[in-house]
Amino acid sequence: MLVELSSIPRGELIERARILRRDDPQYVPSECLVHFIRSSRLDNSDAWFERLYRILTERVLRCLPRADSSDGRTRSLSKETIRDKVFGRFVELLSTDRATYLEQLDYFEIRFDGALANLRRDAQEQAWRDENRSVPLECDAETGEVTAEVEKAAGQFDPFAASIVDDAVYRLRLDAAIADLPPEQSRIIHMLRQGFPIDSKEPGAMTIAKALRRSEKTVRTYRDKAFAVLRAALLEGDES
């Protein structure tokens, strides 16, 4: 099927990729979409990547449990957490592979449903841990945004500065500190580490805000919170 799909115009491939019914003879399996998304890295075409990426992520979201009930009156926080975790992890894998080959994504080209099911199981197992994990930060009670003091401290700290990240012990501590962050903050830090911009004026550029479907302001708020926690874990402990 990859040979067949590679021979048709890209516009036609996009139209076929939008078909959702698996019993449709023109249906494009998600394994194939993952393959073309990964191959687009060699084309250096952000526009082509973006079109495929949007279709595939919509498929992923359709496969995940919805937080809202069928009547729209109630909302399950556990389902919402699992949904956010799985989607965020999948986006993180795609984003990392966009920068450099990631072996973990190979399974999605072989058995997409099985790979996605594995992410769901991992998310379910981790959800209860995150409910009990919290980091005290000074935030505005009304807006939920970090205070000026925290923002200033975060802005002055770069956890990936060359002067410190070359230290092997520091890198181990950094990885551990990132793992302890709440999921969304951790994903943002991982993407910053891979060199992805928070936002961009270039229409086809892949950004953190676009990948996570968050506003630029929200991403920067999460980043500042994460940087403040990393600073406390990595530097302030040494100073004491």
Residues 6+ apart with CB under 8 A from 33: 17, 52, 55, 56, 59
Residue 155 has pLDDT above 60, yes or no: no
Q: Six-digit token pair at 77?
A: 């926080």
- Position 145: which residue type? E
DSSP conformational letter for 134 = -
Under the banding of pLDDT at 50, 70 and 90, the label for residue 138 is: very low
**Average pLDDT score, the chain:** 80
List the Cα angle 185/127/237 in 5-degree steps. Answer: 45
Tens of pLDDT, residue by residue over 50-90, are 899 999 999 999 888 776 655 555 445 577 778 888 888 89
Query: What's the pLDDT score for residue 135?
Result: 43
**Across 133-138, average pLDDT:** 45
| pLDDT recorded at residue 84 | 84
Give the pair of three-digit tokens for residue 164. 């410190």
**Which pLDDT belongs to residue 142?**
46
Of the ranges 129-133, 214-218, 220-224, which one carries the lowest mean pLDDT score?
129-133
Could you tell me what percent of the chain has a pLDDT over 90?
A: 27
> Given pLDDT bands bounded at 50, 70 and 90, which one contains residue 99?
confident
- Greatest Cα pair distance in the chain: 66
- The kind and range of the H/E element at 119 are helix 112-131
Query: Percent of the chain scored above 70 by pLDDT?
Result: 76
Coil, strand, or helix at residue 18? Answer: coil
Number of H helices, E strands in the chain: 14, 0
Phi-psi region of 100 (alpha: psi -120 to 50; beta: other; left: phi over 0): beta
